[in-house]
Amino acid sequence: MLIILLGLFSTIIFAQTKTELQAVELQKPILEYISKNFHGYSIDKIFKVDAKGVITYDICVNKDKTHEKLFFDKDGKFLRKESCSQECCQGPVKK
């Protein structure tokens, strides 16, 4: 019984939902940042991530063979970027 409770508790603690969005659903500051700083890049995938109530946006952009994953906070403030492969934004999506 204790093992089951610990498993359930750890699932709740590390719970994260990842929802795919469309570009029209993004905040204006995010779109402006991408347009200004990633000119010529196209948006491939957009994910809204809710990790225990902390909302972030993970956005995959690409230009030719260059792929970047951009991270923004809930207010649309740029946090960081990571270079990645074309597959970096694939994976299970919860809607």
Q: Which residues pair with 82 in a beta bridge?
A: 69
Work out how many domains the chain is built from and give that number.
1
CATH of the domain at 56: 3.10.450.360
Cα–Cα distance between 82 and 61 in angstroms, integer?
A: 11
Helix, strand, or coil (residue 92): coil
Whether pLDDT at 92 is above 80: no
Burial class (CB in 10 A: 0-12, 13-18, 19+), 75: exposed
Asked if the structure places residue 5 within a domain, the reply is no
pLDDT in tens, 17-47: 889 999 999 999 999 999 999 999 999 999 9
**What is the pLDDT, as a whole number, of residue 85?**
72
**What is the pLDDT, as a whole number, of residue 65?**
85
Q: Within its chain, how far is the Cα of 39 from the centroid? A: 20
Domain that holds residue 36: 16-89
Asked if the structure places residue 9 within a domain, the reply is no
pLDDT-based confidence at 78, cuts 50/70/90?
Answer: very high
